[in-house]
Amino acid sequence: MKLFELIAPCHFGLEAVLKREIYELGYEITKVEDGRVFFEGDAEAICRANIFLRTAERVLLKVGQFHAETFEDLFQGIKKIPWEDYIPADGRFWVTKASSIKSKLFSPSDIQSIVKKAMVERMKEDYGLKWFEESGASYPLRLFLMKDEVTVAIDTSGDSLHKRGYRTMAGKAPITETLAAALLMLTPWNKERILVDPFCGSGTFLIEAAMMAANIAPGMRRSFTAQGWTNLIDAQLWQDTVEEAEELVDTDISVDIQGYDIDGDVVKVARDNARRAGVEHLIHFQQRPVSALNHPKKYGFIVSNPPYGERMEDKEALPELYSEMGEALQRLDSWSVYLISGYQDAERYIGRKADKNRKIYNGMLKTHFYQFLGPKPPKRPRPQ
């Protein structure tokens, strides 16, 4: 059983959530950096990480690491990597992304060009070929340069793992599926508790919650680049992993998950997304303004991504909107509320300082994850 070092990038600041997920899958963490978790696993781990991880952006197979301050250093470092162990003679290979931070080499196009040349030189020697047709499976590379230290990896996922396949349309300032899942995991919410999103948009928070409740693996309905890597991963492993995921699904559950939005067209989109995710029957969607937010039950959860006011005409409506949210919090005084927002005056108009506040980047937008904590529900009496 050959072991690989795998890298799972994630949203900056949410590494602990991903780390917990990887541990729960049964794999050993080797290192944690800003926005990346390294772990060890075999070929099956590549399949299981892609299909089961909810908060990873992708799964990368690390193939090398070295120091490089010049393009010659980069060329020689890449050439030393045993590419023949990873890429067959007909494999299609290219650098899909090169990022550089605090390094002497910083031009992505030059880095990409040098890396490709060095790989070709190495593979010419090993395969005895002068020309590579690259007609086979894809092996896209990703390079990270940090303080002149180069990390080289092959992308096993292809499309980012946030693309679960259920969301074809999104509303304004959408939140990615991976970020929504990570933020939900930061809360104490579980399927026994009420969950409401009064600004549900395309329904991402609620759909991710329903998928968690029903134990639906996020990647079980999509494909991955590494499925074509028959030289490294037996096709049966992918099939076995999907079957493992299917056996864990339980959609015959009772949950109280509700989503509201003032825009009826947006509610329709959310409902369609939930249907594609296989959880439409687990979520109640309704057109309703935040001013009408109320619930007869206690100790529920609100998790939401309210408007930030990215456009000037929207910004004018924010004080009233957040004030209405504050009034709803007063009505739901036993509830816990979690809001991700880029609106700097959110706490001012809600009328309450958050009990906890976490800085999160939603794409390139700096936001805060405001946490207004309600009382814990009384413990249920143990059965005699």
Query: Which pair of tokens denotes residue 26?
Result: 């049964």
Residues 123 and 130: their CA atoms lie apart, in Å, by: 9
What pLDDT is stored for residue 173 in this prediction? 58
pLDDT tier for residue 384 given thresholds of 50, 70 and 90 = low
| Predicted pLDDT of residue 362 | 80
Q: What percent of the chain stands above pLDDT 70?
A: 97
239-250 mean pLDDT: 98
pLDDT for the residue 201: 93
What does the pLDDT read at residue 378?
87
Q: Would you state the pLDDT for residue 1? A: 78
Beta strands in the chain (DSSP E): 4-9, 28-33, 36-41, 60-67, 92-101, 138-146, 149-155, 195-197, 257-261, 283-287, 301-304, 336-341, 356-362, 365-372
**How high is the mean pLDDT of the chain?**
95
CB 278 within 8 A of CB 251: yes
114-118-120 Cα angle (round to 5): 120
Which pLDDT score, from 0 to 100, does residue 170 have?
A: 61
Tell whether the model's pLDDT for residue 253 goes beyond 90: yes
Give the position of tokens 């290979």. Answer: 93
For residues 184-209, average pLDDT: 97
pLDDT tens figures, 52-110: 999 999 999 999 999 999 999 999 999 999 999 999 999 999 999 999 999 999 999 99
Burial class of residue 224 in the structure, from the number of CB atoms within 10 Å of its CB (0-12 exposed, 13-18 middle, 19+ buried): buried
**pLDDT per residue as tens digits for the range 339-369:** 999 999 999 999 999 999 999 988 778 899 9
233 or 312: which carries more pLDDT confidence? 233
Per-residue model confidence as pLDDT tens digits over 290-339? 999 999 999 999 999 999 876 545 788 899 999 999 999 999 999 999 99
**With 60 as the cut, is the pLDDT of residue 234 above it?**
yes
Q: Given pLDDT bands bounded at 50, 70 and 90, which one contains residue 223?
A: very high
Q: What share of the chain is helix, strand, coil (3-state, %, to 5)?
A: 35, 25, 40
**Mean pLDDT of the 132-160 span:** 97
What is the identity of the amino acid at 84?
Answer: E
Burial class (CB in 10 A: 0-12, 13-18, 19+), 16: middle
pLDDT at position 141 is 98
pLDDT at 324: 96
Judge whether residue 174 has pLDDT over 80: no
- Rounding to the nearest 10 degrees, give the CA dihedral for residues 341, 297, 373, 25: -80
Q: Over 90: is that where the pLDDT of 252 sits?
A: yes
pLDDT the model gives residue 383: 65
How many CA atoms lie less than 13 Å away from 32 in the CB half-sphere? 15
**Nearest Cα to 209, choosing from 230, 187, 240?**
187
In this prediction, residue 202 has a pLDDT band, given cuts at 50, 70 and 90, of very high
DSSP 8-state class, residue 86: T
Query: DSSP labels for 339-352?
Result: EEE--TTHHHHHTS
171: confidence class by pLDDT, cuts 50, 70, 90: low
Range 106-125 average pLDDT: 96
Burial of 303 (0-12, 13-18, 19+ CB in 10 A): buried
Distance, CA of 85 to CA of 97 (rounded, Å): 22
| Rounded mean pLDDT, 37-56 | 98
Whether pTM exceeds 0.85:
yes
